[in-house]
Amino acid sequence: MGQTLFDKIWDAHVVSSNEGFPDILYIDTHFIHEVTSPQAFDGLRLRGLPVFRPQQTVATADHNVPTWDQHLPIKEELSRYQVDMLTKNCAEFGIELYGLGHPFQGIVHVIGPELGITRPGSTYVCGDSHTSTHGAFGAIAFGIGTSQVEQVMATQCLLQSRPKRMKIEVNGKLQKGVGAKDIILYIIAQISAAGGTGYAVEYAGDTIRSLSMEGRMTICNMSIEMGARCGLIAPDETTINYVKGREFAPKGEEWDKAVAYWQTLYSDEDADFDSVLSFKAEDIEPMITYGTNPGMGIGVTQHVPETASFEQKEQGSYKKALNYMGLHDDQQLLGKPIDYVFIGSCTNSRIEDLREVAQFVKGKHKADNVIVWVVPGSKQVQEQAIREGLDKIFDAAGFPLREPGCSACLGMNEDKIPAGKYCVSTSNRNFEGRQGPNSRTFLASPLTAAASAITGVVTDIREFLKEEELV
Amino acid sequence: MSTKIFKHIQTSVVPLPIENIDTDQIIPARFLKATTREGFGNNLFRDWRFDNDGNPKEDFVLNEPKYSGKILVAGKNFGCGSSREHAAWAIADYGFDAVVSSFFADIFKGNALNNGLLPVQVSDDFLKRIFEVVDADPHTVIEIDLVDQFIKIVATGEQESFEVNPYKKACMTNGYDDIDYILSKKELVVEFEGRG
Ligand code: SF4
């Protein structure tokens, strides 16, 4: 019987496996940030332990940092305290920190890949659920809680039971204007926000293969939104070319050895998955969510479902969600006025996302009723955007390019969507209050978000693209 | 380092019959700025529990005097979303020892177990029964026994067994944790690193 990609990597990292116990899994790199680490450092102090492998630990400040005037001290006292704590803890325990002002600073799931730290065949964890992003390279990567952050700091290992394996295939040609974000929102809408719970999900099929690394990261990033432990995609030429030459990528002989290994990382043809799902690329429209979990998504031209279409016991939760969103049964979102557009987060803030948006908005201007924030995923993305002149295009369009951080993805800094306002957001969660108390989120792709910013209402990007083809 | 020991509880419950309760509802991100584990209970379910001016909303279960107890009973897919352990800390800090639902999100389940908060997964039908019985009598007492792995509605005698990872059960009933366990195998870790 052949092996899945997931099992090949898992087996190569098992330190010890004992009947009745979870496996002890070796972690190659541990990413940490300011919000979920302070209690873990305290735990180490209480136990009198050092960080076992500080050189395999990478720290950055991203979750609560301001995205404007980053060179000034952080105004908000508690955020400043948390960032200061991280600096102090990293110094005390000998961990490299890419803090504010460092050229490598940025959202943890953006900097790992762009620095060549994220590579095929390795294991990554971080106290953040979107760690699944790194799986796009053919790696095992998942989010952990703070007790586990402490565990990995203390031992470079994690106690984990092996999850079940699911394969999700997408084949066929995508419609114009439909991208990676739409694919993953579509899959989650099909299988629900809990549909992947307990599974490691491998994405496969020719549509997935045709995606850039950025697109693959967008897909794996949102694996957690269907409840999956992690998501991964077998490495190929696209992966290898992306990693090659990056800051911390292996060089010379090491590189050749690494590539030879990476080429063995795929699911064998007769590998056994616990579940296999297939979708057709042609069926996927530009997607938008209407509710308060990422599984509540529809094609942008479709109507919000009727309460009666749900089972009795689910109707209460459904009504509560629609009520929160200020929507009603059977409503069409297309044409609905919006207040904010947020382009950013570890789902869609990479240079490719910004290029795509810039190309589309060039020569256009945002609608008066909309405030737009473009927040790059990292310092390097920001500088690259400036080098390419994207900031000028954005400025002219009324889309100011801010400084890197998580920003309105979770509203821990000042970037909050006000109560009752609608935001078309390229981030990954539309939970109640996620972007600020009582804020209302429509999750969508960068192109849908940009088009909606231009018109001021929820917009079908395909209509724009059709018109542009005509001129 | 020892954690809290959990073997058996018998108490009234707080019902929250909502599905897909995510960790942003349990503890909103803006309250994650503390650098210790204590005090999160004050902001548990913050935006459901208090209005924008910080006044308690009367119709939310935690503010209803008729409900109290050490068990939170919630709808399916509890704890989805972020990996923030603060969610488990907030529930435990508020005073709950167990959460009952018909489905838990993975990371939440792990975080809860690491903090002496027991997630008890029951069938959809049993969950429905608990909600019905508690609705009829808010003082309904539920018994949870980790050693023998059952949950029981005391007044009616209805009961169901539940699953728990045997290793995690041993941790909770003895009060030891994962770090103790891995540290006891440290030579294997070093040997693994040497394999290159
Ligand atoms: S951008 Fe959002 S989802 Fe991504 S790491 Fe930051 S807070 Fe988490």
A307-362 confidence digits (pLDDT tens): 999 998 889 999 999 999 999 999 999 999 999 999 999 999 999 999 999 999 99
Q: Which amino acid is at A363?
A: G
| Atom 4 of ligand 1, residue of closest alpha carbon | A346
pLDDT for A102-131, tens place per residue? 999 999 999 999 999 999 999 999 999 999
Question: Is residue A434 lining ligand 1, measured as CB closer than 6 Å?
Answer: no
pLDDT at residue A77, as a whole number = 87
What's the mean per-residue pLDDT of chain A?
96
User: What is the predicted ipTM?
Assistant: 0.88
* pLDDT confidence band for B14 (50 / 70 / 90): very high
pLDDT at residue A59 above 80? yes
Taking the C-alpha atoms of residue A280 and residue A300, their distance in angstroms, rounded to an integer, is 17
A229 interfacial to chain B (CB closer than 8 Å): yes
Chain B residues inside the 8 Å CB shell of A143: 82-83, 107
What is the Cα–Cα distance from A54 to A50, expressed in whole angstroms?
9
Task: Report the alpha-carbon distance of residue A326 to residue A337 in Å, rounded.
Answer: 12
Q: What is the pTM of this model?
A: 0.93
- Over residues B42-49, the mean pLDDT reads 95
Confidence at B196, pLDDT banded by 50, 70, 90:
low
pLDDT at residue B83, as a whole number: 84
- pLDDT computed for residue A303 by the predictor: 98
Please check whether residue A82 touches B, CB under 8 A.
yes
Q: Give A136 or A468, the one with higher predicted confidence.
A: A136
Reported as a pLDDT band with limits 50, 70 and 90, residue B35 is: confident
Work out the pLDDT band at A414, boundaries 50, 70, 90.
confident
Is A64 at the interface with chain B, CB within 8 A? yes
pLDDT at A282 (0 to 100): 98
Q: What is the predicted pLDDT for the residue at A31?
A: 98
Closest CA to A304 of A285, A279, A325, A284: A325
Confidence at residue A412, expressed as pLDDT on a 0 to 100 scale: 84
Q: For residue A456, what pLDDT is reported?
A: 98
What pLDDT does A470 receive? Answer: 64
Q: Is residue A408's pLDDT more than 80?
A: yes
Q: pLDDT tens digits, residue range A427-440?
A: 999 999 999 999 99
B88 CA to chain A: closest CA distance, Å? Answer: 10
Question: Between the CA atoms of A143, A198, A411 and A37, what dihedral angle is there, to the nearest 10 degrees?
Answer: -30
User: Nearest-CA neighbor of A448 among A175, A207, A224?
Assistant: A175
Nearest CA to B61 out of B49, B51, B69 is that of B49
CB atoms within 10 A of CB B55: 9
pLDDT at A471 over 80: no
Question: Which residues 132-171 on chain A approach chain B with CB closer than 8 angstroms?
Answer: 143-148, 150-151, 154-157, 159, 161
- Spatial neighbors of B181 by CB under 8 A, at least 6 apart, are A21, A159, B171
Predicted local confidence at residue B38, as pLDDT: 86
Q: Is residue A130 lining ligand 1, measured as CB closer than 6 Å?
A: yes
Classify residue A271 by its DSSP letter.
P
